[in-house]
Structure 1
């Protein structure tokens, strides 16, 4: 298992948050959403995208747990949607 696989496997988030993110996967558009979420050039691969998304997600989770005013549930759902979608794309590409 790679570090990336481990990081993804260790994600343990509230069911409502995960359900909302899964719902968002149906409308996820990689090009549009990664450009908006990361504010950089679109990563070439799902693996590169996940390397950028996971630290953001971990920071949002830390803020959620600390109940800080800087926490944005909508941003957390958007980032988690991208993480789930990119993970699915990574798994599909590794099967091909």
Structure 2
């Protein structure tokens, strides 16, 4: 299993998705967005949140690759924004023990 930093570094998505994420990441608010995406009351640490978000994103990306009618580009961008925001916050707060 890859560590979280390797998973983030190897996450490659289409240009249109990554551009949308860059526009939205500055507005990421952990207390609002992360709670809604993970459907939890108490927020986990950044590393734990990233692991959960990467799992969600993996499922959404599988729908995209399968050309599924259930694929939502808006939901995909929302999760990618949360991943990018959490990665920024984790980097800003220093190393964590996961």
Paired residue secondary structure (2:27) = coil
Contact 1:46–1:87 (Cα < 8 Å) also in 2: yes
Offset at 1:45?
1.6
Q: Which deviations, in whole Å up to 9, do the C-alpha atoms of 1:45-79 show, x marking residues without a partner? A: 21111011000011111111111011110000000
Correspondence for 2:40: 40
SS in 2 for 1:41: coil
CA shift in 2, pair 1:42/1:81, >3 Å: farther
Q: Distance in 1 between matches of 2:16 and 2:55?
A: 21
Q: Secondary structure at the match of 1:40?
A: coil
Match of 1:19 in 2: 19
Contact kept in structure 1, 2:46 and 2:90, CA below 8 Å: yes
Alpha-carbon deviation of 1:41? Answer: 2.6
Q: Aligned-residue CA RMSD in angstroms? A: 1.4
Structure 2: gaps (5+ residues): none
Q: How does 1:1-96 map to 2 (within 5 A)?
A: 3-94=3-94
- Count matched residues: 94
Q: Distance in 2 between matches of 1:7 and 1:41?
A: 26
How high is the TM-score relative to the length of structure 2? 0.88
Give the TM-score of the pair, scaled to structure 1. 0.90
Q: Is the 8 A contact 1:31 1:42 kept in 2?
A: no
